[in-house]
Amino acid sequence: MSGRRKAVFIVMDGLGDRPTPELGGKTPLQAAKTPALDRLAKEGQNALMDVIGPGITPGSDTAHLALFGYDPHCSYPGRGPLEVLGTGLESRPGDIAFRSNFASVDSNMVVTDRRAGRFFTPEEQAALQEAIDGIEIDDIQIRFLATVEHRGALILRGPGLFPDITDVDPHETGLKILECKALNQESQKTADIVNKLMIEANRRMKDLPLNKERAKQGKPPANAILLRGPGRHGEIPTLKEKYGIKSVVIAGGALYIGTAKYVGMEHVHVEGQTGTIDTNFHNIALKAIECIKSDYEYIFVHIKATDNASHDGNAQEKILAIERTDAMVDMILKAVGDKIVIAVTGDHSTPVTHQEHSCDPVPIVIWANFMRSDSVERFSEIDAAQGGLHTIRGMDVLPLLLGYSGYIDKYGA
Amino acid sequence: MSGRRKAVFIVMDGLGDRPTPELGGKTPLQAAKTPALDRLAKEGQNALMDVIGPGITPGSDTAHLALFGYDPHCSYPGRGPLEVLGTGLESRPGDIAFRSNFASVDSNMVVTDRRAGRFFTPEEQAALQEAIDGIEIDDIQIRFLATVEHRGALILRGPGLFPDITDVDPHETGLKILECKALNQESQKTADIVNKLMIEANRRMKDLPLNKERAKQGKPPANAILLRGPGRHGEIPTLKEKYGIKSVVIAGGALYIGTAKYVGMEHVHVEGQTGTIDTNFHNIALKAIECIKSDYEYIFVHIKATDNASHDGNAQEKILAIERTDAMVDMILKAVGDKIVIAVTGDHSTPVTHQEHSCDPVPIVIWANFMRSDSVERFSEIDAAQGGLHTIRGMDVLPLLLGYSGYIDKYGA
């Protein structure tokens, strides 16, 4: 259909904040200089948004599901499957997916280092991956991918697996790896497989040449794996199936990439996108513009730096992350402003004074050059409360974006 | 109960709009002179309303169901039954209802004119109606009503009918009438009946004297019917059953009359109500006042002219339609303002710059001379964003109107 626009969605992680004493009572967003975002706020429509619902503090994973138009109460598979999808290990419906650590244990399976020293060479990672990936226990196949430092992703694949099991990680050194227990009868098989896997992985890892080499260098051995965040995802309709759109995620963190893949988005890599304050905002803007000009119809950009600064309680760094995002938005507007409908928001609030996620709603602005404006003049948590979109929820964002972009058919005749 | 008011509901079709360059960036509603509507906005309560939901572009039929307080996702029977009800052909739960055209076909059922010339005398319409109405195929009875020009309404009545079938109209001349196919097993009988009906209608129509006469005059024969928009409505509770109110629709278009009848309203005819810019607004006002003074408790007035102007991209005509509606509202207020609670809104937006329905929310004002006011001073899409009703949905309108009018009992004691 002619007249369709590209739907662009920019999420600054943990954007929402509270009045901050070191900023004279302003929020970091109020204190930041944001000419591009202020232009959107002035010309577009604004709101304070409850991403999940009033009073509910969103997790990053549930928040993104809601922002992609899925009810997290129905569609949330747990963090494991989402993060595993983000690593590139393709989990399938029915698989049980975990996040995993390499760890050091003694001969009694007592944990001596929960991260086995944290640092691994690519060769060590490859050797450990080869030792674990492909293990078979009874009728269950294990898939494993080493990712960053001591981290990895692990999948159990086979019939009759359910995810309601207890943790094996004692979360302290000096304690034995815990026995995995089933929290209901249908998950008993999964618990049994996990317990056998703890022993089998240790058997395969402990005598690897790399561990002899590490011992010589005084490094702790990588002779066990600790699993956490088990989950099992069902089949959900993709964005393509729901709306017929081709969609893409531009993000650094595995969780955001994974959640986007879960709903059927493709991932494109950006050189220098690190998820920290030093991420390459310029390259992210260029990639977003490239995607908008290509056949992608929904382009999702995730900026992590705002949340990292918030968790560190660093108001100045949060301001800097916001200002760099503003410059990125400005590049996009100048290049393709007449081709897009754009929404900018956060996935949750992480006040720098609180350093954790909070239930405070987040500011959101939706803009296209044909839209009505409301009375808001600046993009901030305080101004957005006067916005014409009033109280919207995270699940409303995608329909609004796609409605104005022309991708949702008229309902009825 | 003393203190009850009459609930008056005025819908300007396609009212909502966007900033319009030829109006200096104003919307047609902002550009129009609307002293009566502005008085309502200043003294009453306002909102921008999502008729179905955020981002959803409403059809006229689904929109009106929502505005009458029915969830269209549960209660929408398809356009056919609603429009058929509006023609005066009384469809019942279980019937399959279609909109129909008289058409011309050759001896191989190839369509040569999809409207059979469009124009028919009342005598021709009566003869064609007599030929089709009352056909019986197996255990199914056919009811047919000729309406305007080549148009008509058709019902299949009998056991075991379901509406999930494909179209018979090839939508081009030179192509054969299509075979009707069932989209699921339970609709097979309906498809079979439709295919037999195509042949039987042709058999009865082709040798009618009127077609011999038309041939002499060089007019195409009316020797086939094309059916579209099949639907089957269930039982839904009427407004009388839900609220105990006696309600009436003042409208010109069959779809609006039909949707109103579907929820149990009566229809009253207004001399000169055409649904165009030349409709007789004065007579509509007089009829509304008459209904308000009678024993009707809920009076729904539909103005179509705003939408026609929008689909034509004619901003000046849309302004004129709005201003004439304003004068109509003024007459009602002057005559019976102290006896009513009134709501004025649109069923959806049709921006003149877009010429199609869009997802933009619509302004709504609710007024009674005893209500609180909010800070809004003018009736427009821009001002309404500041209204005290904030974000309401189409389904909220009827409860609000009837609540303030005194027709909804206290919930609890």
What is the domain partition of chain A in residue ranges? Answer: 6-77+236-405, 84-231
Chain B residues 60-79 with CB within 8 Å of chain A: 60-63, 72, 76, 79
The dihedral sign for the CA sequence A237, A242, A247, A252 = negative
Written as six digits, the tokens of A273 are: 């996108």
Cα dihedral B9, B10, B14, B19, rounded to 10, equals: -110
Q: For residue B391, what is the nearest residue in chain A, using CA coordinates? A: A390
Report the residue from B53, B386, B390 with minimal CB separation from A391.
B390
Q: How far is CA B31 from CA A138, A153, B23, B379, in A?
A: 75, 60, 7, 11
Question: What is the reported pLDDT for B1?
Answer: 45
Q: How far is B60 from chain A (nearest CA, A)?
A: 6
Written as six digits, the tokens of B43 are: 């003294």
Chain B residue numbers touching A401 (CB-CB < 8 A): 55
Is residue B81 within a helix (H) or strand (E), and if so which, with residue range?
helix B79-87
Give CA–CA dist B276/B286, Å, rounded: 18
Q: Which residue has the tokens 């991932």?
A: A267
Written as six digits, the tokens of A369 are: 């050059």
Report the residue from B54, B58, B79 with minimal CB separation from A396.
B54
Note whether B56 contacts A391, CB cutoff 8 Å. Answer: no
Question: What is the reported pLDDT for A91?
Answer: 84
Give CA–CA dist B292/B163, Å, rounded: 39
> Is A401 at the interface with chain B, CB within 8 A?
yes
Give the distance between the most distant pair of CA atoms in chain B: 76
Note whether A370 contacts B353, CB cutoff 8 Å. Answer: yes
Per-10-residue mean pLDDT, chain A, length 413: 85 98 98 98 97 95 96 89 90 91 96 94 96 97 94 95 94 95 96 98 96 95 95 88 97 93 96 91 98 98 96 97 98 98 98 96 98 96 95 95 95 89
Give CA–CA dist B396/B401, Å, rounded: 9
- Position B335, amino acid: A
Structure confidence by residue, pLDDT tens digits, A165-201:
999 999 999 999 999 999 999 999 999 999 999 999 9
Q: For residue B21, what is the nearest residue in chain A, using CA coordinates? A: A370
Q: For residue B58, what is the nearest residue in chain A, using CA coordinates? A: A411
Cα dihedral A145, A148, A150, A152, rounded to 10, equals: -30
Q: Which of A92, A348, A107 is nearest to A235 (CA)?
A: A92
Give CA–CA dist B10/A61, Å, rounded: 45
Residue count (chain B): 413
Give CA–CA dist B344/B67, Å, rounded: 11
CB B379 within 8 A of CB B34: yes
How deeply is A335 buried, as exposed, middle or buried, from its count of CB atoms within 10 A (0-12, 13-18, 19+)? Answer: middle
DSSP assignment letter at B179: P
Question: What is the reported pLDDT for A25?
Answer: 97
Topology of the domain covering B6-76+236-405? Alkaline Phosphatase, subunit A (3.40.720)
Chain A residue numbers touching B70 (CB-CB < 8 A): none
Give CA–CA dist B79/B81, Å, rounded: 6
Q: With a cut of 50, which residues of chain B have pLDDT below it?
A: 1
Question: What is the reported pLDDT for B377?
Answer: 97
Give CA–CA dist B186/B123, Å, rounded: 39
CB A387 within 8 A of CB A344: no
Note whether A389 contacts B386, CB cutoff 8 Å. Answer: no
Give CA–CA dist B11/B398, Å, rounded: 12
Question: What is the reported pLDDT for A95?
Answer: 94
Note whether A372 contacts B79, CB cutoff 8 Å. Answer: no
Helices and strands (H and E) in chain B: how many: 15, 14
Q: How far is B71 from chain A (nearest CA, A)?
A: 13
Q: How far is CA A77 from CA A62, A94, A230, A235, in A?
A: 9, 11, 9, 10
Report the residue from B48, B57, B391 with minimal CB separation from A403.
B57
Question: What is the reported pLDDT for A1?
Answer: 40
Question: What is the reported pLDDT for B2?
Answer: 54
Report the residue from B57, B351, B385 with minimal CB separation from A411.
B57
Neighbours of A246 (CB within 10 A): 17
Mean pLDDT of chain B: 95
Superfamily (CATH H level) for A6-77+236-405: Alkaline Phosphatase, subunit A (3.40.720.10)
